[in-house]
Amino acid sequence: MSTRMLTIAAGLMLTMNVSPAWSQGSSEATEAAPPANVTAAPPANTTAAPPPATTTAAPPATTTSAATAAAAPAAGAAIAAPALPAGYVIGPDDILQIVFWREKELSGDVVVRPDGRISLPLLNDIMAAGRTPEELRNTLLTEASRYFGNPNPTVVVKEIRSRKVFITGAVEKPGPYIVTSPTTVLQLISMAGGLKEYADKKNILVMRNTNGKQSGYVVDYSAILKRQNLEQNFLLEPGDTVLVR
């Protein structure tokens, strides 16, 4: 009897000694563990896509309307002849355009040489000075007929440089002047800037070469300004020289 009671008592003591430890261990076991130190992953380092490439719109193509194209002169085409002075004849330094229909190798611009001739392929030297454009055309027609059937030349005066008059002496701008329209003595003096202060206004000399013979005419500038001797303000001719002393 006592032995059994001792056994029970021992068991109770053992139970009492173990229970606190178990309870403590159980409490520690059930204590919430601290949250794991989780570091959020940084956002991916994404670089924004570059802006779309700048594109420059191509300018609209320049188109020429049919009307504009038709109005533009064809390259190498003969130009319209300017109005020529009355009694004009071709002279040295004049620029001519010679056009042969269907014979482009003979066509082109030529300058009248000091000897009065022009040079053309195949036709060689042709005298042009002293002839009207129509007379030169007839000469070219005759010469070209020896090489081509039914040639059709055209002569266009592009620039007149031969109709020169000269003024020298006591004027502001002495030198040669090209006159393509009727020009009087006073008009030439005006073109030259007028007379200088010390000029001899009563004895202006106009020299002219007629058929190789020199002749002179005295012009009284002062009298013309007074409306006297107005006939002295005559028309100049190409090659005339005005001398103001």
The residue ranking higher by pLDDT, 128 or 73, is 128
Torsion of CA 29, 34, 36, 37, to 10 degrees: -150
Predicted local distance difference test score (pLDDT) of residue 81? 59
Structural tokens at position 83: 């109005």
| Residues 83, 1: Cα–Cα separation, whole Å | 165
The band of 5, judged by pLDDT with boundaries at 50, 70 and 90, is low
Please return the burial class of 189, using the count of CB atoms within 10 Å of its CB with bins 0-12, 13-18 and 19+: buried
* pLDDT tens-digit series, residues 146-197: 988 889 999 999 999 999 999 999 999 999 999 999 999 999 999 999 999 9
Q: Is the pLDDT of residue 27 over 50?
A: no
pTM higher than 0.85, yes or no?
Answer: no
Q: Is the pLDDT of residue 78 over 60?
A: no
The band of 205, judged by pLDDT with boundaries at 50, 70 and 90, is very high
Q: Is the pLDDT of residue 53 over 50?
A: no
Task: State how beta strands 241-244 and 164-169 pair.
Answer: parallel
Mean pLDDT of 71-82: 46
Q: What percent of the chain has pLDDT over 90?
A: 57
The residue ranking higher by pLDDT, 69 or 176, is 176
Structural tokens at position 16: 């009492």
The residue ranking higher by pLDDT, 74 or 178, is 178
For the ranges 32-41, 50-59, 232-241, the maximum mean pLDDT occurs at 232-241
Mean pLDDT of 121-149: 94
Please, what is the average pLDDT of the chain? Answer: 78
The residue extents of the domains of the chain are 78-159, 164-244
Q: What percent of the chain has pLDDT over 70?
A: 67
The residue ranking higher by pLDDT, 4 or 156, is 156
Q: For the domain with range 164-244, which CATH number is right: 3.30.2320.30, 3.30.43.10, 3.30.2010.10, 3.10.560.10?
A: 3.10.560.10
Listed range (67-71, 139-143, 144-148, 236-240) with the worst mean pLDDT: 67-71
Q: Choose among 135, 130, 118, 117: nearest CA to 89.
A: 130
| Residues 3, 1: Cα–Cα separation, whole Å | 5
Q: Is the pLDDT of residue 6 over 90?
A: no
Cα Rg of the chain, angstroms: 56
Please return the burial class of 105, using the count of CB atoms within 10 Å of its CB with bins 0-12, 13-18 and 19+: exposed
Query: Is domain 78-159 classified as CATH 3.20.20.70?
Result: no
